[in-house]
Structure 1
């Protein structure tokens, strides 16, 4: 366990800067637990609940790596989603689900990936700003082979409008160092078509994604993209214990990344339009296995 001493020559940083330093220490030391001086928090007028993670122990605060990467406010522009208090909403095929929290706006996730040495960020897609990009990506034969959405701008605008209007789907643009690189759809699995193919739980999340810009292809950036999107889904809602996916079973390149990121292939099954691999990623396994 690594202890952080309070330098006497500098002022105590605000909470955001303290999170940055904790993040750097976990990366540099490889430790699973670090120790903070309680005096550091007091001088910066930082309360333990503001830290969001940590256990008071006499004159020190103990921070576990697994808790920190689920709790610190470094990566998103809002606190974890608080589900509305109302009851279940009717869903498809009797799969009732909770009323979903409001969607974010603008850029809603940003994280520096040390392995890829770049910043991964996610922005809410808007048709006015992103339709041309989306159209070009979908009409790339490499993408069309898996997505089968190589259509006109008008058709793709309708496709996106339906997803934007759907409270259970969040369309997003993924970027590396601010350069738009690909498309993501985050969804609540209970009301998605996938929910009928396994024992879906009310807070399961899933995603579809593509990297559209060829200059951003490659093992390092793809792994950073997958780490970040999985991290976002767990950080966004504390009730989400499982992330699911259904890539094409023959998408060998994507499936190579799954084990290091704690995704398990449960089985293969047939959608009407493809043979799919059912993937599960559990919160505890992800944060225990993946290093940031």
Structure 2
């Protein structure tokens, strides 16, 4: 289990590094097979199978995996992919500059209020830091109501429902402008909370 150490989320303490399939396999195995990670679709895999999955991603030319850190400790998992070639190939009209994304927060002994929202903002900032990224595209399970709310908070709009082999999903996109607007609104809300203390 991973427990963030501070009483309030400090976004400046979030960082992202490449996932090492060998060094990180045991850690990531505990995250992706946890009951709260059911939508990650890796329940029942062994640590070696998880290592194999992430070794395949490391070798893939259009898919990357990362470990997110909070206060220098592993705290979340992120994947970046080309949706025209991975996950959504043939299922949507791809645009130049589209980037796909998955993220998963580590299970925590004591959940930190606002942590998951801080993580998705950090992930989106990381993706849009690349000037080649025009839109972020996601395909969450239609039943995953928690992630739908998070996606909406960072500027995603649902395009339509799509059928994938493993699930029914909401194809959703977030433009750079939509994310910037969401980030400004989020920052304003945080300032209001601070002034109300």
- Which residue of structure 2 aligns with residue 256 of structure 1? 149
SS at match of 1:258: helix
Structure 1 residue 202: Cα displacement: 3.0
Query: How big is the alpha-carbon RMSD for the aligned residues of Structure 1 and Structure 2?
Result: 1.7
- Structure 2: 5+ residue stretches without partners: 1-7, 188-197
Larger radius of gyration: 1
Structure 1 residue 219: Cα displacement: 4.8
Number of corresponding residues: 176
Determine the C-alpha separation between the residues in 2 that align with 1:169 and 1:177. 26
Determine the C-alpha separation between the residues in 2 that align with 1:117 and 1:209. 19
| In the alignment, structure 1 residue 165 sits paired with structure 2 residue 59 | yes
SS at match of 2:178: helix
The higher relative CO (CA closer than 8 Å, separation ≥ 6) is in 2
| In the alignment, structure 1 residue 290 sits paired with structure 2 residue 183 | yes
- Structure 1: 5+ residue stretches without partners: 1-114
Contact in 2 for aligned 1:188/1:203 (Cα 8 Å): no
Residue 39 of structure 2 is aligned with which of 119, 135, 146? 146
Output the TM-score relative to the length of structure 1: 0.57
Contact in 1 for aligned 2:36/2:107 (Cα 8 Å): no
Residue 130 of structure 1 is aligned with which of 24, 29, 38? 24
- Which residue of structure 1 aligns with residue 195 of structure 2? none
Determine the C-alpha separation between the residues in 2 that align with 1:261 and 1:147. 20
Output the TM-score relative to the length of structure 2: 0.82
Structure 1 residue 239: Cα displacement: 2.5
- Which residue of structure 2 aligns with residue 240 of structure 1? 133
Structure 1 residue 222: Cα displacement: 0.8
